[in-house]
Structure 1
Amino acid sequence: MTLHVPVLLDRVMELLAPAATGERPVFVDATLGLGGHTEAMLERFGDVVVLGIDRDPEAIARSAERLERFGDRVVFANRVYDQIGDVVAEAGFGSVSGVLFDLGVSSLQLDVLGRGFAYSQDAPLDMRMNPTVGNSAADVLNTYSEQDLARVLWEFGEERFAKRIAHAVVAQRDRQPFTTSARLVELIRDNIPAPARRTGGNPAKRTFQALRMEVNDELGAWRRALPAALDATAVGGRVVVLAYHSLEDRFAKRTFAAATTSKAPRDLPVVPAELAPKFRLVTRGAEQATPAEVAENPRAKSVRLRAIERIAA
């Protein structure tokens, strides 16, 4: 498999560099994937130790092979990233100097045909990031009520025709359960008006995204993971987030805003330490990829990057 270049790699390393100080600083790559970001951390920051977290056992195996030359400078954890606090503690550390989240689906999951993440290929409708745990996308399609299915498509996929697609799925599954992606793609095309099919890329994109996020509880895990990452970060440490979905980016924005805002009344002349913000924003708003990077790496088109630094215990 060709190893892809991670989105905004140089900018991510630039943001993490000030935290790579002291004796053997510890970073967490909370979305290890194929190990591209972790490899860059280990190469550029000579003393850093990286805890690589991924719920996908295959990602762990491939990254372990790729990063074998770094020995004990990298520790692997086959967990969901909302367990970051446990991973850090079990590795024997009280806190970390940096945390990176590169959210969404990895290139490994998209490129492996049998995983069912890609709407451009016919494959079993699985979409589980850990294929040994939980319900598959087929289970969702074949068991959810029409109302719940429409809610998933609208909330996670922002699909304008969510109700129409959900109604068609329920009608068809009574005759034959859904098992493969090609049939679902065909149903979506048949139930979206022709003008809508001609714009915005493949009309199945939003439905597949929604199913993936539901199957893996991505938003729920994210809402637990980011506060846990802030809690695990030492003074001077940084948390960097690459988000590709508006709901994920919105939560990062709100969480960072709360962490960087004083809790003291505005007219208080002296702010007690316990009411002062413990973090400061490193980025102004959300940074985006340049047109040149998007041309080279289309996945970067929707990325929103935010970073924060702990300034007080």
Structure 2
Amino acid sequence: MLRAFSTEQGNVTLDPGASATFPAHMPWIDLLSPSREEEVFAERAFDLAIPTREDMVEIEPSSRLYRENGALHLTATVIAGFTEGDPRTVPISFVLTKERLITVRYDDPLSFRAFISHLDRQPELCRSPASTLVFLLDAVVERTADILEEVARMTEEVSTAVFRRGRGPDRKRMSNETLEDILLQIGSAQGVLSKARESLSSLSRMLSFLAFSLPEYEASEAPHLKTVSRDVSSLSDQAAFMSSNVTFLLDAALGLINIEQNAIIKIFSVAAVIFLPPTLVGTVYGMNFEHMPELKWLFGYPMSLGLMVVSAILPYLWFKRKGWL
């Protein structure tokens, strides 16, 4: 889909098959999952090379950040699908000239949808190509901050489940399902954080490159760009802190699982020790020797039962005294 945005005409969807020329005074051109026909139409209209999907997934900076024929070609990694429960990173390309901003993307992250929605109420956000780019990057950074806030809430819930279970006799034991859910939440939080750090690292490189070139296009947007850069730096530090916190929670959860497993093994071990002496007594009097005086004694059977009970109670009392039970 090929759309154009301006302060006067708003959002205009273009049909390459029906349009021979491109509308004038359109600061922002958005190509969402463009077909080959739409790519050719845009390239001919602007005399620019539109990045392909293969170009956008390149990871070396020289392929993501460069200047060509008076246009800045910038590619950043953005988080998408978090709200839908399928967080992923997607590359988005920005081509900035003095006349217009062209974005190429094969996904529709919430940050772009929110920015387009804001354009209906604040068309001045799209007053120029450079200002549109800076405001769009600001929306991406703001959405990343929202995602980090949600991950912080998730980790706080996990921390509460792990460390606030009560003390002493009131402490609640965790079921296997609860422990499994905790590990899944930790894994999910770490996965989102790794994607957020990847996105912020990409945005940081892009903003650093853009800071040197933006004054040539619109110097008045330099302070706003610097503010966005500071936000990215702060969010990177926050994401690093949260990642270390999630790692700590993972270690704590694994330690908790080990404690629960050891408690189960201890129960079986104590039970084996407690029932070992009665088993020994029963084994002795179960032997088929001819000369065993207790077999013909009137109190032989009660005595053997008593020995079994006493031999089971004594180890139990010993374990209780040592605090092993």
Same fold (TM over 0.5): no
Q: TM-score, normalised by structure 2?
A: 0.28
Max Rg structure? 2
Higher helix proportion, which one?
Answer: 2
